[in-house]
Amino acid sequence: MSHDASPNKLVYMANQIGKFFASQGTEQAVSGTADHIKKFWEPRMRAAIFAHLEKGGAGLDANVRRAIETLQKEAAPT
């Protein structure tokens, strides 16, 4: 996994993952993207994409945005 945690690179990577799952329908695209990011991204990469989302999430595809929102909610302390 790349150690480049710049927002532009992370947005690009996340959108590429989302495009892979897009043909499977919206819900599967969201869950597949979330699952992939959860399994394969380092915690600091997830933290960086969460921070990007909190600043507006510029450039994120709609399904990818939903996936990251889902992960962010899961990661939030209860």
Task: Report yes or no on 60 lying in a domain.
Answer: yes
On whether residue 36 sits in a domain, the answer given is yes
Residue 7 lies inside a defined structural domain of this protein: no
Q: How many domains does the chain have?
A: 1
What is the tens place of the pLDDT at every residue in 34-78?
999 999 999 999 999 999 999 999 999 999 999 999 999 999 887
Statement: residue 5 has pLDDT above 80: no
What's the pLDDT score for residue 78? 72
Whether residue 10 is contained in a domain is answered as: no
Q: Would you say residue 2 has pLDDT above 60? A: no
Kindly tell me if the per-residue pLDDT of 1 is higher than 90.
Answer: no
What average pLDDT does range 9-13 have in this prediction?
98
Are the beta carbons of 69 and 60 closer than 8 angstroms?
A: no
Task: Enter the tokens of residue 3.
Answer: 């150690």
| pLDDT the model gives residue 76 | 87
* 2 in any annotated domain: no
Q: DSSP states of 1-57 as a string?
A: ------HHHHHHHHHHHHHHHGGG-HHHHHHHHHHHHHHHS-HHHHHHHHHHHHTT-
